Amino acid sequence: MPRQRPTQEPRSRNLAERSAILPDVTAAVGATPLVALDRLAHGVAPRIVAKLESVNPAGSVKDRIALPMIEAAEREGLLKPGGTIVEPTSGNTGAGLAMAAAVKGYRCIFVMADKQSDEKRALLQAYGAELVICPSDVAPDDERSYYRVSDRLAREIPGAWKPDQYANPLNPAAHFAATGPEIWQATEGRVTHLVVAIGTGGTISGAGRYLKERKPGLVVVGADPAGSVYSGDTPRSYLTEGIGEDFWPDTYDRDVCDLIIQVADRDSFLTARAATACEGILMGESCGTALWAALQCARDVADPSALMVVILPDGGRNYLAKLYDDAWLRAHGLLAEGESPRDYDWRTTRPRVVVRRDR
């Protein structure tokens, strides 16, 4: 893929520049905090800090892309008053879009794969969205897939518009314009590594490109579930929600990652549980994916001045019946009989697949 500078939208104001009373909830997106993970990462040389995207008003990093995509569609006449937003989503993008749509008065229809949690479905419905559930074990071009079903609905429904987070350049642009600058400013330019779980590729492409422009030697690390194409796997099903792909989205810049670390479902789930237990941060499965990759990368970095920023894309409340249910973990082979999540130690594990790009 040719390297392209993401389209830039105006940057969101940081918290210090905001009025004490915001005009609506969408103005609260961004300016998320960095928190040190010194307990979980005890013993590694670099410092690992987490960017907590769960504090965005709809609960995830995807809040950042919703309003820019909607407002661009309004300017271009693609989305008009009384229109309908149709999008395939694993839940988080849907929540961000539903939040913005509620403020602006649009109808939302979200198409989801059947592996997504009940909590995510309930959350979207709480915003007033309508859901269409599709099978997850089908190819992307299968007419039953959530990609193709969303295409059909967008064609058939009068006044419908599909943001298409997998191809919309405003996805990485939002992170180039805000997420990357926030990290740079918060670390005063000391960040040396950025670690992101790859989904559509928008977060890692936009934030990674911005930080590399400021510091060319910065290392960008992608975390990818086993069964996803980013780390070279043959597409197959996996349990971790919201990240990994069975195709290459246009929003992913293939040149941005220096390393891609493949992460098994067990390591994703149990690292998230370990981090919640020792750091007090309730997080989702994809957060565990990113954290495990960051911890494994940190083991190979001897520089104590290195500063790794890992983006935690969402919180754990959408996964209480899965990730935080020991019986569910055992039923799905992620926890042995008689084993407790507290028995898991990331230090006893190592990556099986690491994809490296020559710099």
Annotation marks residue 115 as catalytic: no
CB distance 105 to 84 below 8 Å: no
Tell me the pLDDT tens digit for each residue of 266-322: 999 999 999 999 999 999 999 999 999 999 999 999 999 999 999 999 999 999 999
140 and 240 inside one domain? no
Last residue in a domain, options 92, 127, 161: 161
Catalytically annotated residue among 51, 62, 162, 212: 62
Last residue in a domain, options 161, 194, 227: 161
Q: Which CATH number goes with the domain that contains 102?
A: 3.40.50.1100
266 and 317 inside one domain? yes
- Predicted confidence at residue 116, as pLDDT, reads 87
- Predicted confidence at residue 12, as pLDDT, reads 53
The answer to whether the pTM exceeds 0.85 is: yes
Last residue in a domain, options 161, 183, 202: 161
Domain count, the chain: 2
- Predicted confidence at residue 84, as pLDDT, reads 97
- Predicted confidence at residue 241, as pLDDT, reads 93
